Amino acid sequence: MKLFPGVPPFQRRMIGTTFVIVAVYSISQNKASLVEASRTQLTSPSPRIIDGDTVDFTNGRVRVVGIDAPDDDRPQLKAMASQALRALAARDGGMECSASLFDYALRREKQCRTDPKSYGRLNLACQFSGNKASVGATMVAQGFAVDYRIYSGGAYVDLMRKAAAQRAGLWGIDYEGMRQLAVQRAQVPKGCDVGTIKK
């Protein structure tokens, strides 16, 4: 079966060659981004907190993988999540982020991996420098972020459920808003194997 019926053989070869060139270029660019991200380690005793899941370091901006905190559509919740992360980072000696810091729970699931970069940010796992606690797990457990299922593999679902049941953090301020965010971030596109996740 021909892929392009009615197209002369020369044009089919040109289309095929163009496709191969574009595919090879795309793969090489993604590989370069993966290598760059895997070598990147950002550390600061006082990083600039953008919101509950985004942090600025002097050498780059990081999106904490596996969680999602409220954004501009919920400005009050966004401000509170930002303040919570700022206070935790100050109390616990700053933050360090790296591709090699992925939580054990994140690594053992077969989730769809995030791209190395998005919107100019590196997508990395982070921990607090002083006590080595996971930033993602802490923010979810304290009720300031939700599990982002496609990238966490459901690693933080139990922590999120406990925070919601206890009305911790933002769950006590706007339960319905946090519930809606959790429902949105629980969606998994077709083709992503997230292992056995409790619904």
27-84 confidence digits (pLDDT tens): 555 545 444 444 568 899 999 999 999 999 998 899 998 899 999 899 999 999 999 9
Residue 4 — pLDDT band, cuts 50, 70, 90? Answer: low
Residues 41 and 60: their CA atoms lie apart, in Å, by: 10
Q: Which helix (H) or strand (E) holds 34?
A: helix 9-39
**Helix (H, G, I), strand (E, B), or coil: what is residue 19?**
helix
Identify residue 84 by its one-letter amino acid code: A
b (16+ CB within 10 A) / e for 72-83: eebeebbebbbe
pTM metric for this prediction: 0.73
Residues 168 and 161: their CA atoms lie apart, in Å, by: 10
81-134 confidence digits (pLDDT tens): 999 999 999 999 999 998 766 554 454 444 455 566 776 788 888 999 999 999
**Where is pLDDT greater, at 172 or 196?**
172
**Helix (H, G, I), strand (E, B), or coil: what is residue 91?**
helix
**Helix (H, G, I), strand (E, B), or coil: what is residue 56?**
strand
